[in-house]
Chains A and B, each alone.
Chain A
Amino acid sequence: MVSPSTSVGRTSSPHKSNHKKLVTSLLFLLPSWILLLIFFIGPILLTFYFAFTNLSLTGSEAQATQFVGFSNFVNMFQDPNFRISVIKTIVYLLFSAIVGQQILGFILALLMKEKNPAFRRVIGIIVIAGWVTPEIVVAFCWVAFLNDSGTLNMILQQIGLKPVAWLFTFPMTSVIIANIWHGTAFSMLVFQAALDDVPKSIEEAAVVDGASRFQVLYKIVLPMIKGSVVTNMILVTLQTLGVFTLIYAMTGGGPGTSTQTLPIFMYNQAFVNYQLGYGTAISLILLLIGVLVSLLYLKSMKVKV
Chain B
Amino acid sequence: MKRKSIKLERTLPYIILTVIGVLFLLPLLWVLIASVDPNANSSIKVPTAFTVDNFKSVLTNPVNIRAFIIGLLLSLGQGLLVVLVAGLAAYPLSRYQMKYKKHFMFTILFMTSLPITAVMVPVYQLFIYMKLQDSLWGTMFFLTAAGLPYAIWMLKNFMDAVPLELEESAWIDGASVWQGLKRIVAPLMIPGICTVGIFTFSGSWGNFFVPYILIQSPEKLPASVTIYQFFGNFGMVEYGKLAAFSILYTFPAIVLYIFSQRFMSQGFSLGGASKG
Contact = CB atoms under 8 A, between A and B. Distances in A.
B245 to A, nearest CB: 9
Contacts of A189: 265, 268
Contacts of B242: 140
Contacts of B213: 271
A160 B102 CA distance: 63
Contact of B274 (A129, A225, A245, A303): A303
Interface in A105-157: 107-108, 111-112, 115-116, 119, 122-123, 126-130, 132-137, 139-145, 147, 149-154
A161 interface: no
Given A144-B31, A181-B24, A111 B17 contact: yes
Given A141-B31, A193-B268, A241-B115, A32 B88 contact: yes
Contact of B119 (A5, A38, A47): A47
The DSSP consensus for interface residues of chain B is: helix
Contacts of A135: 206, 208
Interface string A278-305: 0110110011001101110110011111
Given A136-B208, A141-B27, A290-B118, A25 B95 contact: yes
A235 interface: yes
Interface stretch (B47-55, B62-70, B120-128): B120-128
Nearest to A286: B118
Contact of A22 (B96, B117, B231): B96
A245 B207 CA distance: 9
Nearest to A39: B145
Nearest to B105: A305
B172 A13 contact: yes
Contact of B113 (A137, A147, A235): A235
Residue of B24, B105, B142 contacting most chain A CB atoms (<10 Å): B24
Interface in A202-244: 225, 227-228, 231-232, 234-235, 238-239, 241-244
Given A25-B95, A134-B205, A242-B116, 16 more contacts: A5-B97, A22-B92, A32-B85, A32-B86, A33-B89, A111-B17, A128-B257, A136-B227, A141-B28, A147-B42, A193-B265, A227-B271, A227-B274, A231-B274, A234-B113, A305-B105
Interface of A: 3-5, 7-8, 11-13, 21-22, 24-26, 28-29, 31-33, 35-36, 38-40, 42-44, 46-47, 50, 55, 104, 107-108, 111-112, 115-116, 119, 122-123, 126-130, 132-137, 139-145, 147, 149-154, 181, 189-190, 192-194, 197, 225, 227-228, 231-232, 234-235, 238-239, 241-245, 249, 263, 266-267, 270-271, 276, 279-280, 282-283, 286-287, 290-291, 293-295, 297-298, 301-305
Interface of B: 13-14, 16-18, 20-21, 24-31, 34, 41-45, 85-86, 88-89, 91-97, 101-102, 105-106, 109-111, 113-126, 141-142, 144-146, 148-149, 152, 164-165, 168, 171-172, 176-178, 181, 205-206, 208-209, 213, 224, 227-228, 231, 234, 239, 242, 246, 249-250, 253-254, 257, 265, 268-272, 274-276
